[in-house]
Chains A and B, each alone.
Chain A
Amino acid sequence: MSEAMTNTASKTMLEIKGVNKTFGGLHALSDVNLQIVEGETHAIIGPNGAGKSTLLNCCIGKLIPDNGSVTFNGRNMIGMAPHDINHAGMVRVFQTPEIFPELSLLDNVMIPAFAKRDGTFKFNPFKSMANEKVIREEAMSTLAEFALDKFYDQHAGSISRGDKRRLELAMGLIQHPTLLLLDEPTAGMARHDTNQTIELLNSGKMGEMTKVIIEHDMHVVFSLADRISVLARGHIIATGTPEEIKNDPKVKEAYLGEEAVDE
């Protein structure tokens, strides 16, 4: 775990203030306040339908909150297009693998690298892919970090589900995001794969990165998070270190209790 949790002087990277979102009559988010501090790994937990995904979608431009503000490194993110938010440094890794199934693994990782280099649009039809050595090498080494380099030229649609999840992580990592948003990175994984993913997220470049993780699996949460926020019925009911959260009676009542029984 990083040092951030103890370093209270760290600056706030992402600030969510008074965010509300309703769908029809349903309050998906009510007055959500959340601060993500530079360097930390922040987990957002909560029962199904608590509004975790809605909150994430409000950050990356898929949804626009009814009111409130989302500020990232001092910039207002609300109303910004997803591709601009990406370039601001906030990168999302999807829950169900969102990859390019018809392209090779290498291309899948090269594409986000191009985004980083070329910006939102670049017209370079006469530049040859064969001359993109720097990007290709970076992509290969990123694939290697995730043990995917052996089948770099296979179609991404043909690899196993676990491999796809890791490919997703590689696609996020190669953009060197300032903040990485992970939506249930281990959902549907076998225990072995889960442990491997935890290992990946805790070590190397990934380990140092500021991350927001939405997660169901308590094992994953407590292995990764520096701080945890608990979301229930659209409200943040507690934020604190894993220890604090474990002992918070409100949390126990709203979430951990039932979850503990489930486990």
Chain B
Amino acid sequence: MMKNLIKSNTVIMLIFAAVVLTAPIWTAPIGANYPDLLQKFAIFGIFAVGYNILFGLTGYLSFGHAAFLGIGSYTAVWSFKLLTMNVVPAIILAVIVAGIFALLIGFLSLRRSGIYFSILTLAFAQMAYSLAYSVLTPITNGETGLQLEQQDPRVIDSMFGVVVKDGLPSTNLFGTLMSGYSGFYVAAAILIVAFYISLKIFRSPFGMKLLAIKSNQTRMKYTGFNTRPYLLTAFVISGMYAGLAGGLLASIDPLAGAERMQWTASGEVVLMTIMGGVGTLIGPLLGAVIIKYLENIFSALNKSELTEIFNYMPEWLQTIVVNVTNPFVGEGWHLTLGALFMLIVIFLPGGVMEGVDKIKGLFGFGKKKSTIEGEAK
């Protein structure tokens, strides 16, 4: 049994890496094989996988994680402006700075639990959002958002004699531009590492203790664990994941705006996690992919395209169907999102992964869940 586990770690990672890296191929049939979207899959995947380390393992529902994503983005853009257009320092700095903020906010918020914790994180995130729009304008450039400029110092780049003649410089990884497929492969590689770390945490004694805190925190205290440092560690790790995602977003498109920190953005990552399956390894990533894919499809559609899609129907039916579906597409994508949110929580609180388990069960080859992976609840 133990051998199986070790083996499965390697096997899981190999399969995972293969699936992620071949994404441009297998997403082709569903029309998702273009770099912009694939990058989004990977980046929001990282965000959700990290969020799951907090919410999935400890059950603490944070409504402020978008703040860390925003902080990561700002840090990365500043790194591009001041240091170098290379993404490595930008991403590392984004993770570190987001981690520091997570440490501070987590330290304060984790003094409370339950809904009080949720509201505290929400309050901190809203403060960050409001400040980014007002007083911190010198750092965040307010509503316009932080952008690159040709005359930025870029100390390290200029040391190496890189001169930008006209237009804006591009972000790169030691010379490879971050646009298009190369951008996706960088994000994918980071996703694989991020997923590996999450897998290790899930299957470590540390991860199991987090699950036990979720299950019965009082008991953990009387069992001899100081639960707060455990929770804080999980909070900081998930904050760093968010910072990483933010840094990557800025690396691909060097622009940072405060709207990334709004509480609805925090709500979105919760939805991704729930949709895929809270507390499962792969679920949150699936959730991120599903939501970003649907967003992409639905928000691009409009009435005339709908008419075309339903062209095969008799005209009277076509008119009805088009009129009914129209509010859900284009600008109305949020309506679809809200509906999805409700449907998932009502009918499939365990997310897609629970659905998969149920189907497996139906066909009789559902196997017992790993004791360490925990309940999708």
The answer to whether any beta carbons of A and B sit under 8 Å apart in the complex is: yes
Instruction: Using CB atoms and an 8 Å cutoff, list the residues of chain A in contact with chain B.
Output: 60, 81-83, 86-87, 91-92, 94, 98-104, 106-107, 110-112, 114-116, 118-133, 153, 155, 171, 175
A84→B222 CA distance, assembly (Å): 9
User: Is B303 an interface residue when CB atoms closer than 8 A count as contact?
Assistant: no
* Interface residue SS majority, chain B: helix
Asked whether B206 lies within 8 Å of A102 as measured between CB atoms, the reply is no
Asked whether A129 lies within 8 Å of B208 as measured between CB atoms, the reply is yes
CB-nearest residue of chain A relative to B5?
Answer: A130
CB-nearest residue of chain A relative to B8?
Answer: A130
CB-nearest residue of chain A relative to B229?
Answer: A121
Residues of B within 8 A of A119 (CB): 224
Residues of B within 8 A of A98 (CB): 216, 218-219, 222
Which of A82, A92, A110 gathers the greatest number of chain B CB atoms within 10 Å? A82
A–B Cβ pairs within 8 angstroms, 24 of them: A83-B222, A83-B226, A91-B222, A94-B222, A99-B219, A100-B219, A102-B214, A102-B215, A102-B375, A111-B220, A112-B223, A114-B205, A114-B209, A115-B223, A125-B197, A126-B200, A127-B206, A128-B5, A128-B6, A129-B207, A130-B6, A130-B203, A153-B371, A155-B375
User: Is B111 an interface residue when CB atoms closer than 8 A count as contact?
Assistant: no
A171→B218 CA distance, assembly (Å): 14
Per the 8 Å Cβ criterion, residues 349-377 of B in contact with A are: 368, 371-372, 374-375, 377
CB distance from B37 to the nearest CB of A (A): 32
Residues of B within 8 A of A122 (CB): 205-206
A132→B207 CA distance, assembly (Å): 13
Residues of A within 8 A of B5 (CB): 128-130
What's the A-B contact tally at a CB cutoff of 8 Å? Answer: 120
CB-nearest residue of chain A relative to B221?
Answer: A82
A207→B152 CA distance, assembly (Å): 76
A171→B6 CA distance, assembly (Å): 27
User: Is B34 an interface residue when CB atoms closer than 8 A count as contact?
Assistant: no
Asked whether A81 lies within 8 Å of B224 as measured between CB atoms, the reply is no
Known: A103-B215, A125-B201, A128-B5. A120 touches B208 (CB 8 A): no
Asked whether A107 lies within 8 Å of B371 as measured between CB atoms, the reply is yes
CB distance from B60 to the nearest CB of A (A): 15
Asked whether B371 lies within 8 Å of A83 as measured between CB atoms, the reply is no
Asked whether B212 lies within 8 Å of A120 as measured between CB atoms, the reply is no
Asked whether A111 lies within 8 Å of B207 as measured between CB atoms, the reply is no
Asked whether A83 lies within 8 Å of B200 as measured between CB atoms, the reply is no
A115→B229 CA distance, assembly (Å): 14
A116→B224 CA distance, assembly (Å): 8
CB distance from A261 to the nearest CB of B (A): 36
Residues of A within 8 A of B201 (CB): 125
User: Is B147 an interface residue when CB atoms closer than 8 A count as contact?
Assistant: no
Choose from B200, B204, B207, B224 the contact partner of A115 (Cβ within 8 Å): B224
Asked whether A82 lies within 8 Å of B222 as measured between CB atoms, the reply is yes
Choose from A100, A118, A128, A133 the contact partner of B212 (Cβ within 8 Å): A100
CB distance from A152 to the nearest CB of B (A): 9
Asked whether A124 lies within 8 Å of B206 as measured between CB atoms, the reply is yes
Residues of B within 8 A of A86 (CB): 222-224
Residues of B within 8 A of A100 (CB): 211-212, 215-216, 219
A122→B375 CA distance, assembly (Å): 23
Per the 8 Å Cβ criterion, residues 220-244 of B in contact with A are: 220-227, 229-230, 233
Choose from B219, B224, B229, B372 the contact partner of A129 (Cβ within 8 Å): B372
Asked whether A133 lies within 8 Å of B207 as measured between CB atoms, the reply is no
User: Is B2 an interface residue when CB atoms closer than 8 A count as contact?
Assistant: yes
CB-nearest residue of chain A relative to B237?
Answer: A125
Choose from B221, B223, B375 the contact partner of A111 (Cβ within 8 Å): B223
Asked whether B372 lies within 8 Å of A111 as measured between CB atoms, the reply is no
Asked whether A129 lies within 8 Å of B209 as measured between CB atoms, the reply is no
Choose from A87, A94, A101, A104 the contact partner of B224 (Cβ within 8 Å): A87
Residues of A within 8 A of B200 (CB): 125-126, 128
Known: A102-B211, A102-B374, A102-B375. A171 touches B205 (CB 8 A): no
CB distance from B330 to the nearest CB of A (A): 42
Residues of B within 8 A of A83 (CB): 221-227
Asked whether A120 lies within 8 Å of B206 as measured between CB atoms, the reply is no
CB-nearest residue of chain B relative to A106?
Answer: B371
User: Is B113 an interface residue when CB atoms closer than 8 A count as contact?
Assistant: no
CB distance from A85 to the nearest CB of B (A): 8
A171→B372 CA distance, assembly (Å): 18
Residues of B within 8 A of A120 (CB): 224-226
CB distance from A112 to the nearest CB of B (A): 5
Known: A123-B206, A127-B204. A175 touches B224 (CB 8 A): yes
Per the 8 Å Cβ criterion, residues 8-32 of B in contact with A are: 9
Asked whether A107 lies within 8 Å of B223 as measured between CB atoms, the reply is no
Residues of B within 8 A of A129 (CB): 5, 203-205, 207-208, 372
CB distance from A219 to the nearest CB of B (A): 28
Residues of A within 8 A of B6 (CB): 128, 130
Residues of A within 8 A of B371 (CB): 103-104, 106-107, 153
CB distance from B290 to the nearest CB of A (A): 26
Asked whether B204 lies within 8 Å of A125 as measured between CB atoms, the reply is yes
Choose from A111, A155, A175 the contact partner of B208 (Cβ within 8 Å): A111
Which of B6, B224, B226 gathers the greatest number of chain A CB atoms within 10 Å? B224
CB distance from B231 to the nearest CB of A (A): 11
CB-nearest residue of chain B relative to A116?
Answer: B224
CB distance from A98 to the nearest CB of B (A): 4
The 8 closest A-B pairs by CB, nearest first: A86-B224, A115-B224, A120-B226, A100-B215, A130-B5, A104-B371, A121-B229, A125-B201
